[in-house]
Amino acid sequence: MIRARLICSERPDDLTLAFRRMGLPRSAREYLLEKVPHAQVLVTGLEKEEGRFLQGLHERSEAPGREEFPVWVPGDMRTRPGTGLLSGRRDQFERLLAAARAEGGPLSRLALAVSRALEADRPPAPLTLGGRTFEWGSRTYVMGIVNVTPDSFSDGGRYLGVEAAIAHGLALVGAGADLLDIGGESTRPGSEGVGADEELARVLPVVQGLRERTDVPLSVDTTKAAVAREVLRAGAHLINDISGFGLDPDLPAVVAEAGAACCLMHMQGTPSTMQQAPHYDDVVDEVLAVLEDAVSRATRAGVPRERILLDPGIGFGKTLEHNLYLLRRLGELRAPGLPLLLGTSRKSFLGRLTGGRPPAERLAATLGSVAAMAALGGADVVRVHDVAQTRDALAVADAIRLARDGGSLMGK
């Protein structure tokens, strides 16, 4: 499968501000937006035909005065065949896409991957859940965690009773949660699963109780079609599957038939094995590959692409450095053009970074992680235990990211 990811990009709004600072009139700004270097796109998974096509375009562009297409630099044929870097202006990329689409066949896949990569810094299409519409890019949304389990790593057993779980969910709504995520099976490292009947007995009455008392969209954290079918009937709007539709082959069809949304997560291994020496050659590329396979499973079953969110699975089969690198490179994970949901709340890598603090003492570290993601524009939804404090941190981080008033010359 071809994967293209945006390595760096000069965003049009940032360039426009630079041109304003130069005192250039609108006509000059618009002209230069089409002419200055725009993006660098890393492409992997190319077959020979696609590689030859890109090399041919590159050779055509080498003629003096004929820089029609992006510069193409292929990877090492011995160690990384099928890879390369495209670098160029917006108009050059547009000509490349037109040429690939005109050829058709396998080159259509190349055009689709590159076009999605070029649009990765634009907000995905809005998503409506229940009566609420999520305008991605306008701010970072908050998903509150409701664990109805005896053994979750942070708050296992605190909200195991139905009324306690419902009260906790309502408190999170009062604190500003945009969604609630209800889970009846612990997925902490080393945990063993529970049967569908037990999981359903834990979460179904909580979904029913919350649905009666709040209109906040409800997500259920499950990998099982039997559980998903019942909670969706009870009023849940989203299925949050840590396996990325990789464990239960019936689950995608259940989500599609209900018209629900889903979040598909990356995990290397299973909760019981995932932290046993996780290894990657290229963590971003491999996470993307698994997530794109998950999206394919969903869409083949009939789930509309615009109703899919992706989660790189921080802490699920990753070392400390893997987690940090993924958080740093979240922009590359936007290559599929879908919203990103991130969960860092109270996780063990934050404990390691702060000198071994236990889960209950990781609030400040959690806020640091969600603020960084928001300021960098890397997450659309953050899944957290501490909603009120997270909303405050995001209010500041989002405001910094979205600030546009640089004085009268800059415009607003």
> Cα–Cα distances in Å, from 389 out to 189, 201, 235, 345, 370?
26, 31, 28, 12, 11
d(CA 316, CA 298): 21
What's at 141, amino acid-wise? Y
Place of tokens 């000198």: 355
Q: Which residues pair with 8 in a beta bridge?
A: 40
| C-beta contacts of 168-173 below 8 A and 24+ residues apart | 169/144, 169/206, 169/210, 169/214, 170/210, 170/213, 170/214, 172/144, 172/145, 172/146, 172/387, 173/144, 173/214, 173/216
255: nearest Cα among 211, 305, 303 = 303
251-269 core/surface letters (b: 16 or more CB in 10 A; e: else): bbbbbbebebbbbbbbbbe
Residue 360, Cβ density class (10 Å: 0-12 exposed, 13-18 middle, ≥19 buried): exposed
Active site residue 347: yes
d(CA 243, CA 34): 42
318, 347, 362, 391: which one is catalytic? Answer: 347
383, 401, 404, 412: which one is catalytic? Answer: 383
Say if CB 114 and CB 102 are below 8 A apart: no
380: nearest Cα among 127, 193, 211 = 127
Q: Just list the catalytic residues.
A: 347, 383
